[in-house]
Amino acid sequence: MVTTGPAEPPADGGESELDAAEREQAAAERALEDKLKSAVRQCAVIGPRARQLLHFAEKHGLPESAPACVGLARLVAPKLDAGAAARLHDARRAALESRRQALRGLERTLADVAAVSTRLAELEHQVRAEAAAHAAHGQHPEPTPTTAPQGAESRRTRRVRLERTVDLSSDDNFFVGFANDISVGGLFVATSDPPPRGALVELVFTLPDGTRIEAEGEVRWTREYDDRAPYAFPGVGIQFKRLPPTALTAIGRFVQEREAMFYDD
């Protein structure tokens, strides 16, 4: 059973206030350290300077009872707490380690979310495929469209089936989908949580031969779930915008080795 928690990320306003407070605190700590260094130097000269002034007063005939001489004689340099700076550093180190631990915990949580999202994408692909196969034994299901919805770029490229998990990330979000088919120009990613049309995304997936593909793409069209075509995967058609030469070669080789599903019109 899939469960979800009620936790929500902090609102943007809260994050901004926290960032501002952290910057202010860090600036205050740096300023105090600088002032502490200056204060240490000042304390080192207060006593010698007072004695020099008393000697000056005596040389010029001022009695020890003179108010200025009395004040100089009573002047005592503050004793700085030698451990204050060390305690400040220790506190900063402890806070830093606490934040590191929190980040490590968050990274583990994000990894768990990514794993569950990937598994969900795989199971969605599997359940739709099994439902289509089951329905085919009794009645012919409506075929999955082999042409892109309105908005797809017109191309004539060989397109072959590819069933691999795909990680998609944009400036604002992270998506997990399942590739259904691919060509040297792009691929279709089945996902129930698609990025919007026109979004620029980073793609990461692995070909069956183990080649890792990292590319940039643009969402050219989207397909929503349609009750009239329940076996058609909802998702997005993505056009490659930046594809390293080695990745292009690997995809081209994979496409040529497989039987073509169709050619885009």
Does CATH place domain 158-263 in 1.10.3720.10?
no
Domain positions in the chain: 13-80, 158-263
| CA trace torsion 93, 96, 101, 107 (10° rounding) | -150
Q: What pLDDT score was predicted for residue 265? A: 45
Give the Cβ contact number of residue 194 at 10 Å: 20
Residue 61 corresponds to which tokens in the numbers above? 């005939």
Residue 239 corresponds to which tokens in the numbers above? 């056009």
Query: How far apart are alpha carbons 172 and 174 in whole angstroms?
Result: 7
For residue 217, the SS3 value is strand
Q: What pLDDT score was predicted for residue 147? A: 42
Who's near 222: CB < 8 A, 6+ residues apart? 149, 151, 194, 196, 197, 235, 236, 237
- Burial profile 148-160: b = 16 or more Cβ within 10 angstroms, e = fewer: beeebeebeebbb
Contact between 54 and 72 under an 8 Å Cβ cutoff? The reply is yes
The DSSP 8-state label assigned to residue 139 in this structure reads S
Residue 32, burial from CB neighbour count under 10 angstroms (0-12, 13-18, 19+): middle
Task: State the pTM of this model.
Answer: 0.51
Q: What pLDDT score was predicted for residue 230? A: 66
Q: Could you read off the pLDDT tens digit of each residue along the chain, which spans 265 residues?
A: 445 554 555 555 567 888 888 888 888 888 888 888 888 888 888 889 989 998 998 898 989 898 988 998 898 888 877 677 778 778 888 888 888 888 888 888 877 777 777 677 777 767 767 776 776 665 544 444 444 444 444 445 677 888 888 888 887 788 778 888 899 999 998 887 788 899 999 999 999 889 999 999 999 999 887 777 766 778 899 999 999 999 999 999 999 888 765 555 4
Q: Which residue has the tokens 């009872």?
A: 65
